[in-house]
């Protein structure tokens, strides 16, 4: 073994470039894998743990109390496929009159005698459960800062149908399944229900099969069939809740997987190439080793170990680097979601480490096995330079090109070593694919953000604040902004030259049966309400009573475009029809868009808070804003040029894709570097001859660089379509993870000219990788090279 | 005697270990001379040739060829100098195995910037003169040793060098092929080509050298002008 150790040590020492390449490639692949794995776990783990502890509800169903009786609902627990059920619990919707400065939203309360049960055993985190009338336990809302959350002991005055009543907060509880905004004792529900209305019922189900949306849907259908027609008002899948709870981290998962797969494939290719190259340049040495009595197994082991030593070092460094990256990425998302994971997951680290070393061993073993098979006699008989062999046609063709001879000599080189060139083409292709993919992803995400367009000019309520507040002035918290006078604003807008169209936006909250939280609703006025929105199907609303929603809303309510629906506004039902699906990520896709007239009966005083104006082409927005503000002088409103706000998550995604692309492009360039080093080593004698015949250093560099041009071009040409496919699949997958269908403006984002440029990126990778060894080749001592006879 | 083409002045070449390969060698070679460098293995013959070709640099002393201070040239300068002034022939031919015979011969001309067509005509002419034109499209691996060395000579002459340097050109050849190459050098010398020839082959030295320089342990041990035996 010590003889073997000596061979390994000297191999590692002599092939310094290859050793560094293996170490770096493994390090980068491991970094990407640790980052991906840890974020994936961080995205899912807390929810999954809590969900299983609480026997979370796979399906939270809301029933219409007027169409089904409690006994019929109890019977639904025995439907095939239902593993456990809880309920029926009576439900009502209440609207607190004011909160602790936090947003006031209608909430669904559920009448439950206690927190436990076979399904959705909620955890009381503060105080106690409600034991009598007038008491309420609130769902912990970890998305709100603590000071804005209602506290135990707070009095909660109500408005709406239960107006005049006051509930006392006696506890705060957490239902991972998010089955209610608050809980009261069952007897309390009747008092909270509008006079004349019937209370709804909630049933909570655990299903035998619950892993996919299809399984959940078939469970839902079976339950719906078991109750009177129309009784099931709405149902929510735990998959939706899980996606929401993971927040934006879940968006990273598809592209991290894509990058991880690329990284691993590239590492395998390059390590295989390094070892195969070491074997092919070392045939003579191998022959001597065998002649000295090394067994084939020992030779293979020696060459495998030459890769494993740097790979192990690289893998450990990669684990460290991966974890260092996980922490800031999660810190970003923690801030957004109020969680506190560091993201460091030892078992992920160990798994990646073990996997990486196993993969390196297998790859190196496969590549080195040729060394074991070489017959000693053949090896020792091998001449210095290979016979012309393959690629003669390419050499003849290249020689005819009207280019300097040094260049045409280089151009033909990849054809002499087809297999090696193919693996390097693949490595470059993956690098180009990564770059194409990253660019596409960035453009797609920006396109998503562009759908949140506020037009060219925005009018906000309130007067412009100029300069710092006067010294010593009391810092009163400004109250909620008051909507400006709509008549005056619209008059100013329409009178202003340069106006192409406008919309007024009035935000409000509605509820619908089956959803426990309020629906943010935008009620529009004006002639350009659809501006910036991308339709997926159907049409924009054209008359009162029509609404436009996005995919998560349709999924959560189990509705389709064309369906009718009852929304509740301050306790009053409004019949609406869904006329279109729009791509709208606001409010997690649960926003309802409609004409202001839809709410005319229920909120006659509703006024637009903001106005979004589009300008005719060629209008200067700054001048327009100045003129408009002059016209608005007597109105409590201010016009500003609309600014693109940049989303923090988008910044994280852009930074991550940028970093990962850089890493993978580096790996690809290292693959090229390794190939060129091998090629130079094999041709060192020919290089000497070239120089003896008068090849200058510059011509030598030209020849070496030219030798990677074909490889780079083919790699780029192959990689770009792969990157485009990856972008399409990943972006669609990210959309699905967030519950959206994506419009073409988000998916079809590449221009032909960009694709050509990206394909040339493959050439750039190749040239970058070849530059260093080209310099080395130019500097080899001719006399020394010629002596290797 | 005309002005010297090659002028070595007090030239030494030391490697890291061992005694110097060349030790204070001074030598003048005039245009049209054909000089044979003789000496035992390891006496510094190849080192001397490499210094003249600008492939290596002396540790001390000056090397001047056709007015050019070869020892002061940079990498690019020495490459350009070789192209313009030097043709080299080696013991083991050093033909490029992945290029055809014609492409091998054309290469120095093309590196010097000659157009492909012109280079090709020149190469075919030389191959014709040397009697190996029928192998122009073959690869060197298919040729006999003597034929390969003819191709190597054609390649060395393609840029019409002032100086032809040959390092044991018959060292790897059998007797018959050696004889062919000997005639070839003889003819070249007769045409006025300046030649510096390193050889063990006394027949070769005698048949085409006008002068022999004997190296022993990196020093000039003898330098004599001889009448070639015809
Ligand atoms: N690149 C080198 N590195 C170290 N020693 C060298 C090198 N080239 C030549 N030598 C040594 O210099 C001496 C002269 O070598 P060389 O000129 O090749 O001799 P010759 O051609 O007469 O056989 C020898 O001892 C040889 O070992
Ligand atoms: Mg020698």
B155 vs B95: CA distance, rounded Å: 9
pLDDT at A450 over 90: no
A562 vs A586: CA distance, rounded Å: 22
When comparing pLDDT for A96 and A765, which is higher? A765
Taking the CA of B55 as reference, the closest ligand is: 1
* Residue range A312-333, pLDDT digits in tens: 999 999 999 988 888 777 766 5
User: What's the gap in Å between B47 CA and the centre of ligand 2?
Assistant: 7
**Ligand 1 site, CB within 6 A:** A 784, 787; B 15, 18, 21, 39, 41-47
User: What's the gap in Å between B41 CA and the centre of ligand 1?
Assistant: 9
Listed residue (A583, A535, A589, A533) closest to A557, CA to CA = A589
Predicted pLDDT of residue A712: 94
* Residue range A555-604, pLDDT digits in tens: 888 888 999 988 888 778 889 999 999 888 777 778 899 999 998 888 88
Task: Encode A302-314: b = buried (16+ Cβ within 10 Å), e = exposed.
Answer: bbbbbbbbbbbeb
A135-139 and A166-174: which strand pairing? parallel
Q: How far is A330 from chain B (nearest CA, A)?
A: 54
Kindly state the percentage of chain B with pLDDT values over 90.
56
The mean pLDDT of A406-434, rounded to a whole number, is 88
Chain centroid, CA A617 distance in Å: 35
* C-alpha torsion sign, points A250, A254, A258, A264: positive
- Which of chain A's residues have a Cβ under 8 Å away from the Cβ of B98? 386, 388-389, 391-392, 395, 416
Where do the domains of chain B lie?
29-52+78-225
pLDDT at A43 over 70: no
When comparing pLDDT for A53 and A450, which is higher? A53
Largest CA distance in chain B: 49
Residue B210's φ and ψ, nearest 5 degrees, are -95, -10
Instruction: Indicate left, alpha or beta for B102 from its phi (over 0: left) and psi (-120 to 50: alpha).
Output: alpha
Q: Whose CA is nearest to atom 24 of ligand 1?
A: B42
* Residue range A764-780, pLDDT digits in tens: 999 999 999 999 888 87
3-state secondary structure of A511: strand
Instruction: Tell me whether the omega of the peptide bond preceding residue A296 falls within 30 degrees of 0, making it cis.
Output: no
Reading the block at residue A195, the tokens are: 């006079």
* Residue range A190-234, pLDDT digits in tens: 888 777 667 788 899 998 888 888 888 888 888 888 888 778 877
CB contact (8 A) between residue A399 and residue B116: yes
Domains and CATH numbers, chain A: 1-64+231-384 (no CATH), 87-206 (no CATH), 388-452+647-789 (no CATH), 457-641 (2.40.40.20)
Interface of B with A (CB under 8 A): 50, 53, 55-56, 75-76, 79-80, 82-84, 88, 90, 92, 94, 96-100, 103, 106-108, 110-113, 116, 139, 141, 155, 159
User: What torsion do the CA atoms of A248, A253, A254, A255 make, to the nearest 10 degrees?
Assistant: 90
Chosen from B94, B102, B137 to mutate, greatest number of chain A CBs within 10 A: B94
Give the residues across from B36 on adjacent strands. Answer: B197, B212
- Please say whether the beta carbons of A536 and A631 come within 8 A: no
Q: What is the pTM of this model?
A: 0.72
Predicted pLDDT of residue A7: 66
Q: Which residues contact A84 (CB under 8 A, 6 or more apart)?
A: A55, A77, A118, A119, A205, A206
Residue A260's φ and ψ, nearest 5 degrees, are -60, -45
Kindly state the percentage of chain B with pLDDT values over 70.
97
User: What's the gap in Å between A455 CA and the centre of ligand 1?
Assistant: 80
What is the pLDDT confidence band of residue A338, given thresholds at 50, 70 and 90?
Answer: very low
CB contact (8 A) between residue B55 and residue A395: no
- Please say whether the beta carbons of B170 and B207 come within 8 A: no
Helix (H) / strand (E) containing A586: none
Predicted pLDDT of residue A1: 45
N- to C-terminal Cα separation, chain B: 23
A 10 A CB-CB count for A315 gives 27
* Residue range B54-109, pLDDT digits in tens: 888 899 999 999 889 999 998 888 889 998 999 999 888 889 888 899 999 999 99
- Please say whether the beta carbons of B143 and B151 come within 8 A: yes
Worst-scoring range by mean pLDDT, A426-440, A512-526, B32-46? A512-526
Interior angle at CA A441, CA A328 and CA A725, nearest 5: 130
Q: What is the mean pLDDT of chain A?
A: 81
* Residue range A622-676, pLDDT digits in tens: 888 888 888 888 887 888 887 765 566 667 777 778 888 888 888 888 888 888 8
pLDDT at A103 over 60: no
Q: How far is B230 from chain A (nearest CA, A)?
A: 32
The DSSP secondary structure of A517-567, one letter per residue, reads BPEEEEEEESS-TTTT-EEEEE----STTEEEE-HHHHHHHT--TT-EEEE
pLDDT at A257 over 80: no
Of B36, B37, B47, which is best to mutate to test ligand 1, by the most ligand atoms within 8 angstroms of its C-beta?
B47
A519-525 and A499-512: which strand pairing? antiparallel
- Please say whether the beta carbons of A120 and A86 come within 8 A: yes
Q: How far is A752 from chain B (nearest CA, A)?
A: 37
Of A387, A689, A694, the CB nearest to B83: A694
CB contact (8 A) between residue A779 and residue B75: yes
pLDDT at A480 over 70: no
What is the pLDDT confidence band of residue A146, given thresholds at 50, 70 and 90?
Answer: low
Reading the block at residue A665, the tokens are: 């492009």
User: What's the gap in Å between B142 CA and the centre of ligand 2?
Assistant: 26
Predicted pLDDT of residue B163: 93
* Minimum-distance ligand 1 atom for the alpha carbon of B13: 12
Predicted pLDDT of residue A479: 45
β strands within B56-193, DSSP E: 60-65, 68-69, 86-89, 163-167
CATH architecture of B29-52+78-225: 3-Layer(aba) Sandwich (3.40)
* Residue range A268-314, pLDDT digits in tens: 888 888 888 877 777 777 777 777 777 778 888 888 888 888 999 99
The residue of chain A nearest to residue B76, with distances taken between CA atoms, is A696
A 10 A CB-CB count for A419 gives 10
Reading the block at residue A126, the tokens are: 């503060």
A 10 A CB-CB count for A444 gives 24
């Amino acid at each position: 073994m010590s003889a073997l150790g000596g061979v390994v040590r000297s191999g590692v020492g002599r092939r310094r470039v290859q050793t560094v390449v293996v170490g770096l490639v493994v390090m980068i692949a491991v970094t990407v894998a640790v980052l991906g794995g840890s974020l994936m776990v961080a995205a899912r783990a807390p929810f999954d743990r809590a969900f299983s502890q609480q026997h979370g509800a796979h399906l939270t169903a809301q029933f219409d109390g007027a169409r089904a009786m409690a006994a019929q609902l109890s019977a639904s627990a025995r439907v095939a496929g239902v593993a456990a059920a809880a309920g029926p619990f009576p439900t009502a919707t209440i609207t607190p009159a004011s909160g602790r400065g936090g947003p006031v939203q209608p909430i669904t309360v559920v009448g439950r005698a206690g927190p436990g049960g076979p399904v959705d055993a909620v955890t009381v985190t503060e105080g106690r459960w409600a034991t009598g009338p007038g008491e309420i336990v609130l769902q912990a809302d970890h998305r709100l800062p603590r000071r804005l959350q209602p506290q135990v002991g707070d009095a909660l005055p109500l408005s709406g149908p239960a107006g005049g009543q006051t509930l006392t907060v006696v506890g705060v509880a957490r239902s991972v399944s998010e089955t209610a905004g608050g809980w009261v004792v069952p007897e309390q529900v009747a008092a909270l229900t509008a006079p004349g209305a019937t209370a709804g019922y909630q049933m909570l189900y655990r299903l035998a099969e619950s892993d996919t949306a299809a399984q959940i849907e078939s469970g839902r259908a079976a339950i719906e069939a078991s109750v009177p027609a129309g009784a099931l008002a709405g149902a929510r899948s735990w998959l939706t809740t899980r996606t929401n709870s993971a927040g934006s981290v879940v968006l990273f998962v598809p592209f991290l997987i894509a990058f991880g797969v690329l990284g691993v494939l590239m590492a395998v290719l390059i390590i295989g190439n390094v070892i195969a190259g070491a074997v092919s340049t070392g045939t003579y040495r191998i022959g001597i080793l065998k002649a000295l009595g090394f067994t084939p197994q020992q030779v293979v082991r020696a060459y495998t170990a030459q890769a494993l030593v740097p790979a192990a070092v690289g893998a450990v460094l990669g684990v460290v680097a991966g974890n260092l990256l996980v922490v800031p990425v999660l810190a970003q998302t923690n801030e957004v979601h109020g969680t506190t994971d560091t993201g460091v997951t030892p078992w992920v680290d160990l798994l990646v480490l073990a996997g990486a070393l196993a993969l390196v061993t297998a790859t190196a073993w496969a590549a080195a096995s040729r060394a074991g098979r070489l017959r000693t006699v053949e090896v020792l008989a091998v001449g210095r330079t290979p016979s012309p062999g393959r690629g003669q046609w390419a050499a003849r063709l290249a020689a005819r090109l009207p280019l300097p001879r040094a260049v045409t000599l280089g151009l033909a080189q990849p054809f002499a070593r087809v297999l090696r060139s193919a693996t390097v083409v693949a490595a470059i292709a993956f690098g180009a694919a990564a770059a194409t993919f990253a660019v596409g992803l960035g453009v797609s995400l920006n396109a998503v953000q562009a759908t949140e367009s506020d037009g060219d000019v925005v009018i906000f309520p309130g007067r412009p604040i100029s300069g710092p507040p006067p010294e010593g002035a009391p810092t009163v918290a400004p109250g909620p902004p008051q909507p400006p006078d709509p008549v005056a604003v619209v008059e100013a807008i329409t009178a202003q030259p340069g106006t192409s169209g406008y919309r007024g936006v009035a935000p409000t909250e509605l509820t619908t049966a089956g959803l426990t939280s309020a629906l943010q609703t935008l009620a529009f006025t004006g002639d350009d309400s659809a501006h910036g929105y991308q339709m997926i199907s159907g049409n924009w609303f054209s008359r009162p009573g029509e609404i436009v929603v996005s995919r998560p809303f349709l999924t959560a309510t189990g509705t389709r475009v064309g369906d009718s629906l009852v929304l509740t506004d301050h306790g009053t039902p409004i019949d609406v029809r869904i006329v279109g699906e729009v791509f709208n990520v606001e409010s997690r896709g649960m926003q309802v868009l409609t004409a202001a007239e839809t709410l005319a009966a229920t909120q006659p005083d509703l006024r637009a808070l903001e106005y979004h104006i589009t300008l005719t082409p060629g209008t200067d927005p700054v001048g327009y804003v100045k003129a408009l503000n002059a016209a608005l002088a007597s109105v409590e409103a201010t016009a500003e040029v609309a600014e693109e706000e940049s989303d923090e998550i988008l910044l994280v995604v852009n930074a991550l894709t940028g970093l990962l692309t850089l890493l993978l492009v580096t790996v690809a360039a290292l693959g090229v570097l390794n190939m060129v080093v091998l090629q130079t080593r094999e041709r060192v004698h020919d290089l000497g001859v070239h120089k003896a015949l008068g090849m200058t250093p510059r011509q030598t560099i030209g020849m070496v660089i030219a030798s990677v041009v074909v490889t780079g071009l083919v790699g780029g040409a192959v990689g770009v379509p792969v990157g485009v496919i990856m972008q399409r699949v990943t972006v669609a997958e990210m959309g699905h993870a967030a519950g959206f269908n994506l419009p073409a403006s988000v998916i079809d984002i590449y221009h032909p000219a960009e694709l050509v440029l990206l394909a040339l990126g493959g050439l750039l990778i190749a040239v970058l990788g070849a530059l260093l060894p080209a310099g080395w080749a130019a500097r080899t001592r001719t006399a020394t090279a010629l002596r290797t006879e | 005697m005309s002005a010297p083409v090659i002028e070595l002045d007090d030239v030494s070449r030391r490697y890291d270990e061992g005694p110097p390969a060349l030790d204070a060698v001074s030598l003048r070679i005039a245009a049209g001379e054909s000089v044979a460098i003789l000496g035992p293995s390891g006496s510094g013959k190849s080192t001397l040739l490499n210094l003249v070709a600008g492939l290596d640099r002396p540790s001390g002393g000056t090397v001047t060829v056709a007015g050019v201070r070869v020892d002061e040239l940079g990498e690019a300068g020495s490459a350009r100098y070789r192209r313009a002034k030097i043709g080299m022939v080696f013991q083991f031919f050093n033909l490029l195995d992945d290029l055809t015979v014609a492409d091998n011969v054309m290469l120095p001309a093309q590196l010097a910037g000659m157009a492909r067509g012109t280079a090709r005509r020149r190469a075919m002419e030389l191959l014709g003169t040397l009697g190996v034109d029928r192998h122009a499209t073959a690869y060197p691996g298919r040729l006999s040793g003597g034929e390969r060395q003819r191709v190597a000579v054609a390649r060395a002459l393609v840029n019409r060098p002032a100086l032809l340097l040959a390092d044991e050109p018959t060292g790897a050849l059998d007797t018959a092929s050696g004889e062919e190459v000997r005639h070839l050098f003889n003819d070249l010398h007769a045409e006025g080509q300046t030649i510096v020839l390193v050889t063990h082959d006394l027949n070769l030295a005698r048949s085409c050298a006008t002068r022999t320089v004997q190296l022993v342990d990196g020093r000039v041990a003898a330098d004599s002008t001889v009448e070639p035996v015809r």
